Amino acid sequence: MAATPPEKPGLLSWLLFGMGYGPGEDKSPEAIARRTGSKHAVKCDMCKDIDGGPACVRACPTGAAIRVAPEQFINVMRQGGR
Amino acid sequence: MRGRRSRHESFLIYARFRYLKIACAAAVVSIVLYLVDSPYPSRYGGSWVGYTLGSAGAFLILWLMWFGYRKRSYLKNQGNLVAWLSAHVYLGLSLLVIATLHTGFHFGWNIHTLAYGLMCLVIASGGFGVFSYVRYPRLMTGNRLGIGMPEMLSRIASLNDQLRTAAMNVDDRTARLVERAVETTLLGGSFWRQLSVYYPNCATAAALAGISEIQANATPELAMAMRQVRVLLEDQGQLLTRARQDIQYKAMMDIWLYFHVPLSFALLAALLAHVIAVFYLW
Q: What is the pTM of this model?
A: 0.82
Best mutation site among A46, A58, A82 for testing chain B: the one with the most B CBs within 10 Å? A58
Question: Which residues from A are below 8 Å from B74, CB to CB?
Answer: 55, 59
pLDDT confidence bin for B128, thresholds 50/70/90: very high
Same domain, residue pair A9 and A21: yes
Written as one letter, the residue type at B34 is Y
Per-residue pLDDT, averaged over B159-169, amounts to 92
**For position B179, what pLDDT does the model report?**
94
Contacts of B84 in chain A (CB under 8 A): 61
Per-residue confidence (pLDDT) for residue A53, from 0 to 100: 79
Give yes or no: residues B136 and B263 share one domain: yes
Looking at the structure, do residues A51 and A16 belong to the same domain, yes or no?
no
Residues 6+ apart with CB under 8 A from A74: none
CA–CA dist B179, B188 (Å, integer): 20
Same domain? For A34 and A55 the reply is no
Rounded to whole angstroms, what are the CA distances from B174 to B73, B177, B218, B225, B231?
Answer: 56, 5, 11, 10, 14
Residues B20 and B118 in one domain: yes
Q: Tell me, yes or no, whether A33 and A50 share the same domain.
A: no
Least confident of B40-44, B176-180, B260-264: B40-44
* Domain co-membership, A61 together with A32: no
Indicate if B215 and B244 belong to the same structural domain: yes
Q: Which tens digits make up the pLDDT trace of A54-63?
A: 888 888 998 8
Which strand (E) or helix (H) includes residue A3? strand A2-3
Domain assignment present for residue B224? The answer is yes
- One domain for residues B130 and B267: yes
Judge contact between A69 and A37, C-beta under 8 A. no
Q: What is the pLDDT of residue A40?
A: 63
Selection from B88, B135, B1 nearest residue A54 by Cα: B1
Together in a domain, B138 and B175: no
B193 in a structural domain? yes
Whether residue B158 is found in the same domain as residue B236: yes
Question: Stretch B10-26: mean pLDDT, rounded?
Answer: 94
* Nearest chain B CA: its distance from A47 CA (Å): 9
Q: Are B50 and B171 found together in one domain?
A: no
Q: Do residues B38 and B63 both lie within one domain?
A: yes
Task: Say whether both B100 and B18 belong to one domain.
Answer: yes
pLDDT-based confidence at residue B8 (cuts at 50, 70, 90): confident
A24 or B124, higher pLDDT: B124
What residue numbers bound the domain in which B73 lies? 14-144+254-280
Considering the domain architecture, whether residues A33 and A57 belong to the same structural domain is answered as no
The pLDDT score that the predictor gives to residue B4 is 45
Contacts of A62 in chain B (CB under 8 A): 10-11, 82, 85, 133
Whether B167 maps to a domain, the answer reads yes
Mean pLDDT across the stretch B238-257? 95
Number of domains in chain A: 2
Residues of A with CB under 8 A from a CB of B: 50-55, 57-64, 66-69, 72, 76, 80-81
Residues B229 and B158 both lie in one domain: yes
Domain that includes residue A49, residue range:
44-82
> Same domain for A25 and A9?
yes
Are B53 and B73 within one domain? Answer: yes
Q: How far B125 CA sits from the closest chain A CA (Å)?
A: 17
Q: Is B1 among the domain residues?
A: no
User: Are both A25 and A52 inside the same structural domain?
Assistant: no
A35 shares its domain with A5: yes
| CA-wise closest residue to B191 among B136, B256, B142 | B256
Mean pLDDT of A21-38: 70
User: In this predicted model, which residue has the larger pLDDT, B237 or B39?
Assistant: B237
Say how far apart CA B242 and CA B32 lie, in whole Å: 52
pLDDT, averaged across chain B = 91
- pLDDT, greater one: A36 or B29: B29
Instruction: Give A81's contacts in chain B (Cβ within 8 Å).
Output: 146
pLDDT at residue A2 in the model: 59
Per-residue b/e over B221-250, b at no fewer than 16 CB within 10 Å? ebeebbebbbebbeebbebbbbbbbbbbbe
Q: ipTM value, please give it.
A: 0.72
- Indicate the SS3 state at residue A40: strand
Degrees to nearest 5, angle at CA B235 with B229 and B236? 85
Percent of chain B whose predicted confidence (pLDDT) is above 90: 73
Predicted confidence (pLDDT) at residue B145 exceeds the cutoff of 90: no
Q: What percentage of chain B has pLDDT greater than the value 70?
A: 98
| CA B51 – CA B135 distance, rounded (Å) | 39
Please tell me the distance in Å from A44's CA to the nearest CA on chain B.
15
- Count up the domains in chain B and report the number: 2
- CB contact under 8 Å between A61 and B1, yes or no, is no
pLDDT at B2: 40
Q: Are residues A1 and A33 in the same domain?
A: yes
pLDDT at res. A3: 60
Distance, CA of B82 to CA of A29 (rounded, Å): 29
pLDDT bucket at A13, cuts 50 / 70 / 90 = confident
- For residues A34 and A58, membership in a common domain is answered with no
Question: Is residue B215 domain-shared with residue B258, that is, in the same domain?
Answer: no
Q: What is the pLDDT of residue B127?
A: 97
**Which of B4, B85, B146 has the CB atom closest to A62's CB atom?**
B85
Q: What's the mean pLDDT in A16-21?
A: 76
In a domain, B6, yes or no: no
Q: Is the same domain home to A33 and A61?
A: no
Query: Average of pLDDT values for B68-82?
Result: 85
